[in-house]
Structure 1
Amino acid sequence: MAYLFTPLTLRGLTLKNRIVISPMCQYSAADGFTNDWHLVHLGSRAVGGAALILLEATAVVPEGRITPDDLGIWKDEHLPGLRRIVDFLKSENCVAGIQLAHAGRKASHSSPWKGGAVVPESEGGWQTVAPSPSPFSPDEPAPRELTLTDIQGVVEAFRVGTRRALSVGFEVIELHAAHGYLLHQFLSPLSNQRTDEYGGSFENRIRLLLEVVAATRAELPDHLPLLVRISATDWTEGGWTAADSVRLAAILQDHGVDLLDCSTGGNVPRADIPVGPGYQVQFAEQIKRETGLATGAVGMITEARQAEDIIARGQADLVLLARESLRDAYFPLHAAHELGTDVEWPEQYERAKPRRR
């Protein structure tokens, strides 16, 4: 049995293997609603053998969308479409998870293939919000600084989003505190220049994330795990650092977080990032080693042996695939064969299963 195909238990939930499909925005929704694209896209990866699929960044409020084409969970009308996806994933022995998100100052942009530029309010965009009134890049309009009342509204939106997600059967909640979106904006001194209790010191800058974690954890049954995705470094002088991430991880562990999904970057437009195969694994390894908190590794993990080695060496507890899963929806099935491990295939595909010689 390859290490990659050993089960992992988080609280009362057991994943059949260590392969997770990362949240990947599809920019294919209208008013936050799922459609057949989302069902087929996610369903095919469940058929492909992943243990856990995390739905793309799903906005807890309309103004929290990255683009007008993002998924949402800010109203009950979104729930039937989400339930349809959850039911199919579960039918394929795949755990359904969802990433709850608020884009903050990086909201109200057009989808990548539509140019990715800011969408003005006159064309269906909206006023963005952030911890401080500084834009992501100098050529973008300034966001509105959140008031203390606004901040409590954000916490409540994540709480209600969690409740809605649980109502349709999601068993894993991941909070998006990475890639320069709102929760990350509060963490990093590059984007948080507040002088109240939500800015300045490390303890103040992590305050909003801890409040969102507490609100989410209060909604979750004890047997279901809570994940948080962070950018472990801003890759920029004066920004969030790996040491900050280790410090945060220990605190999150004490607040009921079960696994840290370790990405990097995204909070400034031009950071010097040494991109290469497995370039972010070091952060998952460091956090796991120094705190004991379970971690997930992500970033240019493209080969079965590479993924196997990450788990076998104890660098992380899970590997999260994004672009590679777009290239190969059946990566887990193919990886099992390559690593000499026998796993179940869908009955409908059994005739195509490679046989060990």
Structure 2
Amino acid sequence: MTRADLTHATGLNRSTVATIVTELESLDLVTVSQPVDTKRVGRPSTVIGPSPRHIAVAVHPDKDAISIGVVAMGGRVLREFRFDVERAPTAVHVVNTLQALVRGLELSEGGTVLGVGIGVPGLVGARDGVVRVAPHLDWHDEPLVQMVAKATGLPTWAANDATCAVVAEGQFGEGIDEDNVVYLNGGAGGIGGGVIVGGQLLSGENGYSGELGHMLVNSDGGLCHCGAVGCLETEVNRDDLLSVVGLGDAESSLLEQRLREAYGEEPAVTALVDRQLDFLGIALRNIVNIFNPGVIVLGGFLGAVRNATGDRLLDSVERAALAGPSSEVRIVSSTLDENVLIGAGELVFRTILRDPTSASVGSPTSAREPEQVAAS
């Protein structure tokens, strides 16, 4: 934004904005550059942007890979590393992979590593960072935040991966300028969700909210790993879709293309996709009626199914949900490929966003000694 834009957005006078920008620049939190020719009358205003020199290390473990990103403020993933695994990684495996990467990380920008943010496909305690259960990873009561902080010497935070993703979508994706956003992701390990209501993340008593994948959609359905019957992630799943179009796990990126080719043309594919769309429509009807969101963002294979089937999903929701909220909602596919990593980075950045003076100043920072770290 230009300094003039900042003045208008904040309602502060120009001298106050100039003072704040100077302080933030001295903390190396923003960059100040000369504007391009805007052809506007009057003296052009300088351009203010987030600095890439303060970074977060973001981690997303899943049953088929460990993804690690170097994330800068402004929703920018500077680098991404993906480590494919043959079986779901253990918490120790994730920590060791992260520790080795952090030790060897050479930041050409000479940046300061502020901490580690982790998006976990499971229930993560907001108060202690313990992963109570991550069923598709077979994790139970893993003190993940404490383990990572001890191994890296960096402040560490963790949250559910879909919760991280909805934060990213609200800040930088399809939820920009929306106060009420629901994110629903279909991944290798199931379906997760995140909810923003009135501009605030819905976290629940201890961070466990948003388990939309365990919404009942079929009372005669299959047994879910959680012990219930007919959960959304049991009736709508990636493995069945991959199988019916003849793809394996390693070819999951081709799912949307294959569905586009087969849906409406191959009876077996069409029947399975329509069945899953019906159950997904039930879930979205409930979401629309309960949360009255302005936008529902679908990620992963859910986004691929929506893209490959035209207006089929939206039409079913409009027919089934209450007329008021259904007429106002947009149902879109995510275009923010790295939303979990971006959201995990925001777990780290929120500290300096709340108090910019807490940012370190000076030379690049390496991992501090573990005993100096207060993990939260």
Normalising by structure 2, we get a TM-score of 0.30
Compute the TM-score of the two structures, normalised by the length of structure 1.
Answer: 0.31
Q: Which has the larger radius of gyration?
A: 2
